[in-house]
């Protein structure tokens, strides 16, 4: 099974409980438009670098396409399609006026110089600038991209279309970015984790967590949970990981990561592999790296009570079934990591208004919106006696379907 098929499996689980015709289903799952572009640059050593860039525009019933750009060697058309579809459902779950899109480039940014990364980004924009825009399609950071990459996109786009900071979100605060955007996804993960634990009569304080991935999402999630008294006992990244049963000192870990660019080798813990992290005894397991992490085999060995999907698409459907049968609560990606697109929306609104909001307002509005979305999903799951994932998809499908019908097919 591939990633897009897995996303559609979850769509079908929810659509099966709703009144959706076959034609409506086809219309809702198929992407609107798919771009694939050759991106050729001169490398620092004078050789030619060949890359392929993708942008999948999945659905725009509720507003412009919206979603991240991923720079990673595994990026391909299917992955972009799956992630674009997830964005359609995610923007609907938290009710922001966007559709879903996603894209990326099959490159390894860790092997590129800053100059090569900039040339690659600008060349990609040169190829797709007519298809993106503040009211068409608004990219944002994802794995392997950050505020700097967004700043280059904004600048390159402006060469063709004039000053349009709202073409992209996740920009640096000094260049039309929003306060709170960098931390937003992790902040949202921590909010949804807190709300989920409250339903299980648990608190963040004293609860143990293991986090896979210590990039933007994983590290901010760790900081916010740690600040509430949560015990982060294990973290990993692409280079390795660490475990400390009494709880990792996150401030010290951050200093170490700033110097070494990895959590591996951190002296405040013992080393652990990624596979070991997934099955370590812990209350809450948070995948915050790539997709496709849980399969039927390792799902059987997971010892957590709760899986909070901070990454996009970490759970294959067969693993989801195992979690269900074992009574492990899975909080779905389209709800958990929606804080990123929520604050991206706030950034876009600020850019269009040419007016800045203070951090307190952004975090307050993010929290209100995420808690409300959690409640809607949780109550629907209770009412329909279904999983949180199925409830989240049902809520999203209803909103997207209704918009589509109201606008006219
Ligand atoms: P990032 O590039 O900042 O960090 C990714 C992290 O994952 C790094 O620590 C990397 O070392 C680690 N990693 C990569 N391969 C790994 C492996 N095989 N095992 C363990 N760790 C591995 O990316 P990010 O922005 O933090 O995104 C992480 C996840 O969150 C992705 O699934 C992304 O789609 C999702 N997400 C991100 C945002 C956002 O605002 N950045 C929003 C919503 C969802």
What integer is the mean pLDDT of 307-318?
A: 98
What integer is the mean pLDDT of 11-15?
A: 97
Per-residue model confidence (pLDDT) at position 40: 98
Per-residue model confidence (pLDDT) at position 5: 97
Our mutation pick for probing the ligand 1 site, out of 142, 169, 298, counting the most ligand atoms within 8 A of Cβ, is 142
Residue owning the nearest CA to atom 42 of ligand 1: 340
Residue 247, pLDDT > 90, answer yes
CA of 90 to the centre of ligand 1 (A): 17
- Cα distances from 234 to residues 71, 244, 253, 326, 405, in angstroms, run 26, 6, 11, 23, 47
Instruction: Report the predicted TM-score, pTM, of the whole model to 2 decimal places.
Output: 0.97
Residue 409, pLDDT > 90, answer no
What integer is the mean pLDDT of 71-81?
A: 97
Say if ligand 1 is within 6 A of residue 292 CB: no
For the four alpha carbons of 212, 217, 223 and 228, in that order, the dihedral sign comes to: negative
Mean pLDDT of the chain: 97
What integer is the mean pLDDT of 235-252?
A: 97
Per-residue model confidence (pLDDT) at position 38: 98
Domains of the chain: 28-175 (3.40.50.10860), 184-336 (3.40.50.720)
Say if ligand 1 is within 6 A of residue 144 CB: yes
Say if ligand 1 is within 6 A of residue 35 CB: no
Predicted confidence (pLDDT) per residue in 117-163, tens digit: 999 999 999 999 999 999 999 999 999 999 999 999 999 999 999 99
Predicted confidence (pLDDT) per residue in 217-228, tens digit: 999 999 999 999
Annotated catalytic residues are 102
Residue owning the nearest CA to atom 8 of ligand 1: 215
Residue 334: which of 58, 79, 88, 57 has the closest Cα? 88
How far is the first Cα of the chain from the last one, in angstroms, to the nearest whole number?
A: 31
Predicted confidence (pLDDT) per residue in 40-60, tens digit: 999 999 999 999 999 999 999
> What are residue 146's phi and psi, to 5 degrees?
-150, -170
What atom of ligand 1 comes closest to residue 341's alpha carbon? 42
Per-residue model confidence (pLDDT) at position 368: 98
What atom of ligand 1 comes closest to residue 344's alpha carbon? 40
Do the beta carbons of residue 170 and residue 185 sit within 8 Å? no
Predicted confidence (pLDDT) per residue in 171-203, tens digit: 999 999 999 999 999 999 999 999 999 999 999
CA of 215 to the centre of ligand 1 (A): 6
Residues 6+ apart with CB under 8 A from 347: 169, 170, 171, 176, 177, 178, 181
Residue owning the nearest CA to atom 3 of ligand 1: 215
Say if ligand 1 is within 6 A of residue 169 CB: no
Residue 127: which of 156, 151, 148 has the closest Cα? 156
The percent of residues in the chain predicted with pLDDT above 70, rounded, is 100
Cα 398 off chain centre by: 22
């Amino acid at each position: 099974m591939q990633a897009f098929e897995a996303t559609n499996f979850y769509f079908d689980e929810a659509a099966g409980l709703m009144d959706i015709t076959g034609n409506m289903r086809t219309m809702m799952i198929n992407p609107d438009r798919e771009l694939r572009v050759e991106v050729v640059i001169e490398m620092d050593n004078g050789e030619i670098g060949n890359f392929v860039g993708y942008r999948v525009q999945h659905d725009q019933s509720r507003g412009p396409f919206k979603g991240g750009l991923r720079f990673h060697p595994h990026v391909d058309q299917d992955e972009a399609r799956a992630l674009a579809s997830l964005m359609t459902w995610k923007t609907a779950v938290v009710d922001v006026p966007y559709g879903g899109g996603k894209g990326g480039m099959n490159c390894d940014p860790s092997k590129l110089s800053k100059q090569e990364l900039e040339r690659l980004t600008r060349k990609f924009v040169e190829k797709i600038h007519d298809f993106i825009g503040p009211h068409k399609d608004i990219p944002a950071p994802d794995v392997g991209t950050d505020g700097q990459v967004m700043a280059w996109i904004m600048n390159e786009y402006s060469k063709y279309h004039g000053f349009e900071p709202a073409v992209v979100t996740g920009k640096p605060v000094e260049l039309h970015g929003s306060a709170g955007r960098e931390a937003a996804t992790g902040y949202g993960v921590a909010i949804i984790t807190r709300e989920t634990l409250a339903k299980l009569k648990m608190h963040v304080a004293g609860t143990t967590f293991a986090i896979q991935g210590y990039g933007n999402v994983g590290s901010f999630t760790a900081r916010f949970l740690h600040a509430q008294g949560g015990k982060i006992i294990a973290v990993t990244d692409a280079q390795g990981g660490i475990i400390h049963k009494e709880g990792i000192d996150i401030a010290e870990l951050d200093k170490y990561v700033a110097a070494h660019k990895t959590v591996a080798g951190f002296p405040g813990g013992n080393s652990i592999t990624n596979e070991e992290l997934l099955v370590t005894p812990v209350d809450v397991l948070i995948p915050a790296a790539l997709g496709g992490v849980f399969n039927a085999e390792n799902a059987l060995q997971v010892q957590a009570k709760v899986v909070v999907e901070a990454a996009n698409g970490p759970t294959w459907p067969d693993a989801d079934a195992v979690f269900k049968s074992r009574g492990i609560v899975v909080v779905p990606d389209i709800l958990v990591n929606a804080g990123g697109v929520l604050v991206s929306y706030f950034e876009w609104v600020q850019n269009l208004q040419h007016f800045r909001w203070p951090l307190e307002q952004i975090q307050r509005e993010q929290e209100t919106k995420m808690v409300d979305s959690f409640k809607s999903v949780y109550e629907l799951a209770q009412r329909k006696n279904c999983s949180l994932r199925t409830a989240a998809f049902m809520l999203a499908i209803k909103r997207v379907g209704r918009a589509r019908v109201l606008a006219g097919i």
